[in-house]
A = this chain, B = another copy of it.
Amino acid sequence: MERISVKELLSTAPLQQEIEVNGWVKTFRSNRFIALNDGSTINNIQCVVDFEKFEDSLIKSISTGAAIKVKGNLVESQGRGQNVEIRVNDLFIHGTADADTYPIQPKKHSLEFLREKAHLRVRTNTFSAVMRLRSALSYAVHTYFQKNGFYYFHAPIITGSDAEGAGEMFRVTALDAKTPPLTDTGEVNYKEDFFGKETNLTVSGQLEAEAYAMALGKVYTFGPTFRAENSNTSRHLAEFWMIEPEMAFYDLDANMDLAEDFIKWVLQYVLDNCEEDLKFLEHRLLDEEKSKPQAERSEMPLIEKLRFVADNNFKRVSYTEAIDILRNCKPNKKKKFEFVIEEWGADLQSEHERFLVEKHFKCPVILFDYPANIKAFYMRLNEDGKTVRAMDVLFPGIGEIVGGSQREERLDVLQQKMADLGIEEEELWWYLDLRKFGTAVHSGFGLGFERLVQFATGMGNIRDVIPFPRTPQNAAF
């Protein structure tokens, strides 16, 4: 007998021959109807058991969470809600799930409760739908880049460089924790550590990706990155996955075109390939928001929101224009913002970004040409001498989903900038080499994958879109 999944069964016409399927019991009604699921789809297959044909003890061990194997015939369903069902001829219990101790019962559990059970929560409809969608989005990312001539580049995770400055880093070490070896001057002697120097977990693969883009033309990373920041919010993780394309011969305009096209394409991919999971998640969100005041509810149902983003142009606005809008907007004048915008040069906070996206433009926005002194050292200086070719893509409900820039390709300008910021040239000798030998215009951006999954699933807390979240005081499992 062929191995067959519930997903395949549900799209199959009634069959003459006997089939076999494995899965977990979602519910068991009237000693007769098993809703069986194997994780392949959000939908269950109904298995109809003639309980008089089986031992009492067997029937008693069919409960929510039990793993079973069913043999039977796929027939047209008599009941409503499904086209086909299985008339069960034989039934085998792989493993039971005691109703008194199994935590995932067929009732509503809070997301907080389920976070404590991260090894079991993916057995719920919500988390299985989120994680299938996460998988589909990952594949969409790879497919988009591979079809468009990009090469996948594995950036190093352990790095000896700490010059990027994107955030606080975790140290990676094999030294004795209590009594590390010391130098003559009493400092920790990293020469005796595994790598012969101090090493950290990467905060970004960008600098290394630039080296690869300057050889392979167009590359992208998709790997884990880390921030040792004590941010206990619904938007931050200490370990998260990042996508970082980097392209030789792309200026900022081409970079913005790519970011927009990329996001639209991957969202269209899940619209095309994850319809049932999206429908489930849309209902979940509507249900969750029922208890919220109208003003806090989503403006559009989930699927309509994804279609809206996939089908409409993002608004491109320079930082300078954005400051003008913000300075003159009502919440600024009435001092409703926590940080009132007074003049050009101010760093934009989440409240400002949300105002622009959610209230003013009501669509995704790309801000570009930021003041140089609020952006990273490697961004290309504009001719005005005070702005850099940076861009951020801002999304409703999520805020910044992409940050990118054209990179400073001119050796002398980059050296001056590093000197101004006190970044040692010997720390980044290889990065400067890229400007010494065959330098060229190039650009790239970073997209926090979990924020994209949040947007596509409508989940409010970033801890609920990654299998085992790592946050301050939490590295369980």
**A interface, CB within 8 angstroms of B:** 3, 5, 7, 22-25, 38-40, 65-67, 69, 94-98, 101-102, 104, 119-120, 122-123, 128, 131-132, 134-135, 138-139, 142-143, 146, 149, 151-161, 168, 170-175, 177-178, 180, 182, 186-188, 194-197, 199, 201, 208, 211-212, 214-218, 223-224, 226, 228, 230, 238-239, 241, 248-249, 254, 409, 430-431, 433-441, 466-468, 470, 472-477
Verify B224–A433 contact, CB threshold 8 A.
Answer: no
Query: Which one of B154, B212, B436 contacts A101 once the chains associate, using CB atoms below 8 Å?
Result: B436
User: Knowing A172-B201, A216-B122, A437-B95 touch, does A22 contact B248 (C-beta < 8 A)?
Assistant: yes
Verify A477–B216 contact, CB threshold 8 A.
Answer: no
Interfacial chain B residues near A177, Cβ < 8 Å: 171, 173, 175, 180, 188
User: Knowing A158-B239, A216-B122, A475-B159 touch, does A228 contact B194 (C-beta < 8 A)?
Assistant: yes
Interfacial chain B residues near A431, Cβ < 8 Å: 119
User: Knowing A149-B40, A178-B188, A430-B477 touch, does A170 contact B154 (C-beta < 8 A)?
Assistant: no
Min Cβ gap A183→B in Å is 10
Interfacial chain B residues near A94, Cβ < 8 Å: 249, 409, 438-441
User: Knowing A135-B152, A475-B197 touch, does A95 contact B439 (C-beta < 8 A)?
Assistant: yes
Q: How far is the CA of A168 from the CA of B50 in the complex (A)?
A: 54
Q: What residue of chain B has the Cβ atom nearest to residue A139's Cβ?
A: B146
Verify A174–B170 contact, CB threshold 8 A.
Answer: yes
| 15 contacting pairs across A/B (C-beta < 8 A) | A7-B149, A22-B440, A39-B218, A67-B214, A97-B436, A101-B437, A123-B214, A123-B215, A131-B212, A135-B146, A156-B477, A157-B157, A170-B173, A178-B182, A199-B475
Q: How far is the CA of A197 from the CA of B440 in the complex (A)?
A: 46
Interfacial chain B residues near A473, Cβ < 8 Å: 194-196
Verify A238–B154 contact, CB threshold 8 A.
Answer: no
Verify A154–B467 contact, CB threshold 8 A.
Answer: yes
Verify A170–B157 contact, CB threshold 8 A.
Answer: no
Query: Which one of B40, B149, B215 contacts A122 once the chains associate, using CB atoms below 8 Å?
Result: B215
Q: How far is the CA of A231 from the CA of B282 in the complex (A)?
A: 51
User: Knowing A22-B440, A131-B151, A151-B131 touch, does A194 contact B238 (C-beta < 8 A)?
Assistant: yes
Interfacial chain B residues near A25, Cβ < 8 Å: 438
6 A-B pairs closest in CB distance: A95-B439, A94-B440, A39-B216, A39-B217, A195-B475, A67-B440
Q: How far is the CA of A467 from the CA of B211 in the complex (A)?
A: 10
Verify A217–B156 contact, CB threshold 8 A.
Answer: no
Interfacial chain B residues near A476, Cβ < 8 Å: 160, 430
Verify A39–B131 contact, CB threshold 8 A.
Answer: no
